[in-house]
Amino acid sequence: MCFIGHGSFGIITKQIWCNYFAVFGIGTKSAYALMPWVGGVDIALGVLMLFRPMRAIALWLVVWGAVTAFLRPASGEPFAEFIERAGNFGAPLAMLILSGGIKSFKQLFEVINPAATVDDKTMARVYNCLKVVGFFLLMGHGWLNLIQKKGLLSQYASLGFSDPAKVAQFAGVFEIVAALLVLFKPVRSLVLIFIIWKAATELFYPKYEVFEWIERGGSYGTLLALWLSLKQVSSNLTIPFLSKDH
């Protein structure tokens, strides 16, 4: 979802991408010429990951997702834009941990076995990763609400709210509280609410809303994986960081 959503904006040639190419000294004309190529590679990798999931693709998404997210603050946008996109690189990172990590170069290009046994220590690492990533993506979006990002205010106005600033303040406080709960006290019922909230609010984009929603698949995926892992964690008290001995 992340690769395909992001790649679609390359094909569409999203104007704001020019700012990110400019970080590398690439001019507007060249940026527009490069966008479809970047988008095409993203989409190809997304499709390949769906049908032939390999660690190499997940590893690239960790790097690529982090770099493209960091280009936002690097181009003058708030730092919250970077951490709000933690799902883009955090979800594939959790997948790499879950698959046992990378032990050799050859393993990079082997298909990940979904039926492989996962030991308690690995599960603990995945669980902690999901909590941290979930914290960042909720905290980042809450932060953007509190500083009243123009795009978010426009979304609330388009939905018919008479006071978008107040809505942004409420949403920001809610999301920051949600982020802290995910990090320190994740409860399955609350995490489910946060999944619905995140998936629903990402549909408010007035333009290209479908692609915006798809691109943020890592956000929903992270929270969904956390919700699923909470069930496994609660039924398996031998996981190291949950046992009484630790």
In order, the DSSP letters of the chain are -HHHHHHHHHHHT-TTHHHHHHTTT--HHHHHHHHHHHHHHHHHHHHHHHHS-BHHHHHHHHHHHHHHHHHHHHTTS-THHHHTTHHHHHHHHHHHHHTT---STGGGGSBP-TT----HHHHHHHHHHHHHHHHHHHHHHHHHHHTT-HHHHHHHHHTT-S-HHHHHHHHHHHHHHHHHHHHH---HHHHHHHHHHHHHHTT--SSSHHHHHHHTHHHHHHHHHHHHHHHHHHH-TTSGGGSTT-
How sure is the predictor about 204, in pLDDT bands with cuts at 50, 70 and 90? confident
Comparing 240 with 63, the larger pLDDT belongs to 63
Distances (CA, A) of 132 to 1, 126, 144: 21, 10, 18
The reported pLDDT for the residue numbered 145 is 97
The reported pLDDT for the residue numbered 238 is 45
Distances (CA, A) of 185 to 182, 216, 223: 6, 24, 14
- Give the contacts of 245 (CB within 8 A, at least 6 positions apart): none
Give the span between the Cα atoms of 122 and 143, in whole angstroms. 31
Mean pLDDT, residues 200-207 taken together: 84
The reported pLDDT for the residue numbered 243 is 42
Name which of 26-40, 193-207, 211-225 the model is least confident about.
193-207
The reported pLDDT for the residue numbered 187 is 95
The reported pLDDT for the residue numbered 236 is 59
245 has a pLDDT exceeding 60: no
The reported pLDDT for the residue numbered 208 is 72
The reported pLDDT for the residue numbered 20 is 97
120-174 pLDDT, tens digit each: 899 999 999 999 999 999 999 999 999 999 999 999 999 999 999 999 999 999 9
The reported pLDDT for the residue numbered 234 is 64
The reported pLDDT for the residue numbered 196 is 96
246 has a pLDDT exceeding 70: no
Across-strand partners of 207? none
* CB of 211 closer than 8 Å to CB of 179: no
Mean pLDDT, residues 62-79 taken together: 97
Give the span between the Cα atoms of 191 and 53, in whole angstroms. 27
207 has a pLDDT exceeding 90: no
